[in-house]
Amino acid sequence: MGNSTEKSIDTLVIPAAGAGTRLRPITYATPKEMLRLVDKPIAYYLLAEAYQAGIKRVIFITHKDNQSTKKFFSNPLAKNLLVDFPGLAVSFIETGTRGGDGQAILLAEKAIAGRPFAVTMGDLLTLPGTSILAELVEVYREQGKSVISVENIPRKKTGQYGIINPGKKRGNIYTVRGIIEKPPPPESPSTLAMTGKYILFPEIFSYLRKLVDSQGELKLAHALNDYAKEHTLLACVTQTLHYDTGTKPDLLKAEIAFSLAHPELKKAAHSIVRDALK
């Protein structure tokens, strides 16, 4: 694959067709991307990170049972949030299947129209003013290759993550030989865990299609593992902190962190946290 840095990353795909089972019962009433985090929905922070990376087009992949997210963004009141992102276009692709993140991303192939694009998982956020996607876009511009975000984790936790098998290292960037899903610590090839942010070439769709007939959910990590055997795939140990909102404890942690960073609420948040710890 040749250098494609002349093609800017202008589109972000957000797989958001899951049922949010780990956050129930609240996700019976509200899809997880619309849950409140401090004073805005989680979706706002996903848009903010994309916008900081220079992305002006965001595609949500949602389940047909979730109409509330699309309805919100079509409501004139949504402009009160989107005013922070002039020129940003938000659209939706609907699916009747919950077949994994890979199945959701595959639905975006036609909309991508043969260009490199970004992906972020819908429950992984960065604080306003920061952007892992911006870090990845910079690597893409310099290297002209697909790149994924990773972080170093304690070895005892490798069984909870997708772990890369790293090749050559240059600074904070590795080549990826392969990806192993949730390896036991003694068998893990590294402690570099995937953190759910990606810059991908459209060739990834062919690798996703090859997995369609496999049993179980269609996972992006499996397609990337195959992709890395035939193309250069980079992994960037990003410097930006990220927050998971996919479980109740993680969502609580994010609520505290985002409150402490909020320009209007941080003083009150510090006071509340101090009082709670007494």
Q: How far is CA 189 from CA 134, 182, 185, 240, in A?
A: 27, 11, 9, 24
How many angstroms separate the CA atoms of 272 and 278, rounded?
A: 10
User: pLDDT for 92-102, tens place per residue?
Assistant: 998 878 778 88
The full set of domains in the chain, from first to last, is 11-276 (3.90.550.10)
The pLDDT of residue 213: 65
For residue 259, what are the contacts with CB-CB under 8 A and spacing of at least 6? 38, 265, 266, 269, 272
What pLDDT, in 10s, does the model give residues 49-75? 999 999 999 999 988 888 888 888 888
Kindly state the tokens that stand for 21. Answer: 């089972």
Q: pLDDT digits over 193-239, tens only?
A: 999 999 999 999 999 988 876 656 788 999 999 999 999 999 999 99
Q: Are 30 and 37 in contact (CB under 8 A)?
A: no
Q: What number of helices (H) and strands (E) belong to the chain?
A: 11, 13
pTM of the model: 0.88
